[in-house]
């Protein structure tokens, strides 16, 4: 196995097919990115900018000799929405009139700078520009029949897995796993005025494209046809059902070092969501998923989620839960995720916000296949059937102090660790017979300042 293939497989273990998460915690929360706003006719403008400096302990997800770097992120953003409730009441429209269309759109540009802390420098050429953008049109909101058109785009800047040194003893050039992920959505909803019943039918078109030719065989197109139903049989308690069919097709599977196969996962879940007491709420879902890959390994298993939420007060809550689901994987056809998690968030008088989340998961991977679908185990440490497991630990802490409704300072610490006995590669000399470990630990820490109008 050559180094290019080994690096691709290493990256395939680290990253998955699902939409990557935003690098900045505060970009995920509308309350943190949308202040009072600036009125422009029938719209509100919410400009903002943030700057962060930090440290990354393991830029390339190496098991041994990790490359650390200082990091800089600068993030200007702009959100445009139709008038909010307060400004709508002060507009010329009749007080009882419901809007025909609600609109929300936003874009954030994230400049990433890497400053190497080792010699030779392997990270400074990773500087690049990430993008987060979204559009959402809600037609006939608060009516019996509603329709939604939406689009979400995310370009993430992510170093790939670096496999070590070449024949001359020099570090191999850094590779990037930069990816462009777009989801277009159309959804029809039936929601009678009393709110007892709600039914949604929707479609997603998903495109995932990588910048680097080293990874573009992982490019894929996906579809998702889904239905969701909610029946509220008590004032604050509802029965839930959801089902989906999610066909996925790789664009260039013939270039992959292992088999990449089209699939048509089918999943369904049913459960309950609501209050047990005034302070405690429960979400409980159970269901089934089958992957239906055209070749190679398949999953056929029970899935579900259980979450208990403690509403400490209007500004604080604590959650504990467990999630079991199935995800398509770049490395093998799929992995089954079994993750327990805890989270706590608290806002103190609207000035200081703290958010903590942590989890531990057992990730169960199917066997890696060759292009004909037969097991083709690239390394050591696998089970006898070619499958393997990894334990993944994750933790995120975020805090922000707001001097006023515009300016604030924040800090973010994120840790991620993958624990596994598997080593990629073979004994042909490309890895010295030892194999490339897929165990690694990475810690990121950032402090920043932010302004949002």
| Calculated CA dihedral for residues 313, 314, 320, 325, nearest 10 degrees | 170
Residue in this structure with the two tokens 């600068």, named with its chain if needed: 74
What is the model's pLDDT at position 260? Answer: 93
What is the model's pLDDT at position 166? Answer: 52
Dist CA 213 CA 7 (whole Å): 12
Dist CA 21 CA 416 (whole Å): 14
Q: Where are the domains of the chain?
A: 3-452
**Which residues, other chains included, contact 249 with Cβ-Cβ below 8 Å and sequence gap of 6+?**
220, 221, 222, 262
Q: What is the mean pLDDT of the chain?
A: 88
What is the model's pLDDT at position 325? Answer: 97
Helix (H) or strand (E) holding 7: helix 3-14
Q: Domain 3-452 belongs to what topology?
A: Porin (2.40.160)
Dist CA 40 CA 150 (whole Å): 23
Q: Which residues of the chain have pLDDT under 50?
A: 427-431
**Which residues, other chains included, contact 40 with Cβ-Cβ below 8 Å and sequence gap of 6+?**
none
Dist CA 448 CA 453 (whole Å): 17
What is the model's pLDDT at position 428? Answer: 45
What is the model's pLDDT at position 427? Answer: 43
pLDDT (tens digit per residue) in 161-179: 655 555 555 555 566 889 9
What is the model's pLDDT at position 431? Answer: 46
| Strand extents, DSSP E, 211-299 | 220-234, 237-245, 248-250, 266-275, 280-290
């Amino acid at each position: 196995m050559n180094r290019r293939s080994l690096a691709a497989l290493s990256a395939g273990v680290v990253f998955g097919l699902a939409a990557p998460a935003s690098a900045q915690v505060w970009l995920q929360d509308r309350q943190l990115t949308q202040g009072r706003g600036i009125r422009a006719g029938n719209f509100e403008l919410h400009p903002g900018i943030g700057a962060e400096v930090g440290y990354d302990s393991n830029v390339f997800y190496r098991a041994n000799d990790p490359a650390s770097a200082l990091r800089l992120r600068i993030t200007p953003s702009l959100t445009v929405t139709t008038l909010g409730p307060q400004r709508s009441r002060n507009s010329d429209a009749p007080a009882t009139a419901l809007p025909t269309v609600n609109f929300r759109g936003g874009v954030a540009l994230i400049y990433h700078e890497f400053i190497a802390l080792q010699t030779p420098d392997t990270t400074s050429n990773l500087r690049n520009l990430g993008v987060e953008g979204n559009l959402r049109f809600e037609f006939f909101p608060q009516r019996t029949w509603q329709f939604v058109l939406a689009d979400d785009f995310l370009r993430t800047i992510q170093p790939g897995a670096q496999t070590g040194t070449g024949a001359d003893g020099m570090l191999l050039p850094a590779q990037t796993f930069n990816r462009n992920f777009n989801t277009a959505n159309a959804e029809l909803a039936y929601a009678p005025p009393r709110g007892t019943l709600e039914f949604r039918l929707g479609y997603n078109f998903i495109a995932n494209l990588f910048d680097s030719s080293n990874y573009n065989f992982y490019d894929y197109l996906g579809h998702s046809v889904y239905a969701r139903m909610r029946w509220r049989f008590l004032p604050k308690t509802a029965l839930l059902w959801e089902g989906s069919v999610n066909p996925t097709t790789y664009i260039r599977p013939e270039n992959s070092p292992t088999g990449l196969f089209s699939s048509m996962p089918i999943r369904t879940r049913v459960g309950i969501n609501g209050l047990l007491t005034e302070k405690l709420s429960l979400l409980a879902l159970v269901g089934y998923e089958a992957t239906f890959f055209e070749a190679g390994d398949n999953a056929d298993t029970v899935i579900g989620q259980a979450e208990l939420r403690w509403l400490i007060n209007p500004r604080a809550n604590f959650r504990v839960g467990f999630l079991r689901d199935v995800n398509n994987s770049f490395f093998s056809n799929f992995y089954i995720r079994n993750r327990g998690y805890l989270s706590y968030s608290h806002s103190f008088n609207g000035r200081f916000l703290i958010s903590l989340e942590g989890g531990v998961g057992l990730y169960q991977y199917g066997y890696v296949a060759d292009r004909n679908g037969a097991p083709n185990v690239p390394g050591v440490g696998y089970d006898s059937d070619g499958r393997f497991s990894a334990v993944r630990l994750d933790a995120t802490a975020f805090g922000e102090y707001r001097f006023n409704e515009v300016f604030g300072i924040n800090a973010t610490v994120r840790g991620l660790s993958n624990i596994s006995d598997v080593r990629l590669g073979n004994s042909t000399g490309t890895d010295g017979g030892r194999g490339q470990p897929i165990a690694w630990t990475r810690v990121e820490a950032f402090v920043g300042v932010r302004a949002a109008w």
